[in-house]
């Protein structure tokens, strides 16, 4: 679970983030909105609203810490199984916060990136999302990758199909296919390697999120419900990351 907040210190690491106390790429499974609302006798949508405020705090904490990329699991491909009213509320909140936060993204130099299949949310919302991506594409202080209608197994299957079609067409020798060939077809191919994956609310699983990318990521699980997640909780995860020795199977 979470460690006490301590000052960041240099860590002995190897691989993508060698000699860095700060992870280049952090991903978060944002969990606990429903339980947060239930404990307060509130409807689930109130938990999702509070969770959206936690996104704002965490994005700012990532910018301040010098993180290069922050990937957030906003809506999984399995979330469509939730009650239709809750899904509609989530889509409405996306529209509201997208319009409200676009100026903040520009002000803080944040580039918005989408991973997954956001077209499933309908033309209107998808068009707004694509417009925000276009408007922020020149920002380079932080990349905020939002996973919408995302499932890691589907992502890997799609990459495998692409390679299979290339082999069938005679464009690719199957013997030449390696990890880099598959990785280049993933939604995160333009982001730094994943260094740190955080999950809130006390659950200890990956839930079909960034399965390939998390192969050598450090994992941090916290009991904090997502709406209560703040700069202190984020910095505590960074501090724990800085204390770990990353060997990448070398020793």
Q: Which of 64, 79, 127, 140 is catalytic?
A: 79
What value does the mean pLDDT take over residues 163-190? 98
What is the arrangement of strands in the sheet containing 218-221, beginning at the earlier edge strand? 110-116, 142-150, 69-76, 25-29, 196-199, 218-221
Q: Residue 33 annotated as binding?
A: yes
pTM (two decimals): 0.88
Examine the pLDDT at 12 and tell me if it is beyond 50: no
Query: What would the pLDDT profile of 119-175 be if each residue is shown by its tens digit?
Result: 998 899 999 999 999 999 999 999 999 999 999 999 999 999 999 999 999 999 999
Into which CATH architecture does domain 25-150+192-205+213-243 fall? 3-Layer(aba) Sandwich (3.40)
| pLDDT single digits (tens) 71-91 | 999 988 888 888 888 888 888
Residue ranges per structural domain of the chain: 25-150+192-205+213-243
Whether residue 79 lies in the annotated active site: yes
Average pLDDT, the chain: 89
| Catalytic-residue membership of 31 | yes
Known binding residue 218? Answer is yes
pLDDT for the residue 4: 32
């Amino acid at each position: 679970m979470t460690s006490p907040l301590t000052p960041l210190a240099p860590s002995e690491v190897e691989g993508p983030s060698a000699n860095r106390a700060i992870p280049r790429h952090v991903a978060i499974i944002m969990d606990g909105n429903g339980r947060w609302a239930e404990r307060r006798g509130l409807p689930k949508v109130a938990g999702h609203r509070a969770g959206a405020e936690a996104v704002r705090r965490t994005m700012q904490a990532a910018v301040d810490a010098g993180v290069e990329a922050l990937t957030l699991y906003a809506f999984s491909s399995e979330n469509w199984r939730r009650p239709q009213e809750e899904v509609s509320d989530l889509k409405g909140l996306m529209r509201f916060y997208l319009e409200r936060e676009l100026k903040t993204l520009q002000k803080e130099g944040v580039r918005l990136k989408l991973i997954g299949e956001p077209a499933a949310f309908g033309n209107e919302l998808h068009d707004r999302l694509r417009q925000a991506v276009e408007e922020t594409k020149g920002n380079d202080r932080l990349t905020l990758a939002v996973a919408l209608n995302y499932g890691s197994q589907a992502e890997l299957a799609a990459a495998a199909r692409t390679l299979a079609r290339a082999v069938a067409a005679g464009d690719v020798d199957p013997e030449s296919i390696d990890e880099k060939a598959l990785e280049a077809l993933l939604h995160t191919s333009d982001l730094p390697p994943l260094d740190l994956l955080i999950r809130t609310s006390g659950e200890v699983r990956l839930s079909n999120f960034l399965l390939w990318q998390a192969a050598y990521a450090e994992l941090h699980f916290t009991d904090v419900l997502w709406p209560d997640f703040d700069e202190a909780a984020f910095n505590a995860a960074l501090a724990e990351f800085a204390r770990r020795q990353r060997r990448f199977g070398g020793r």
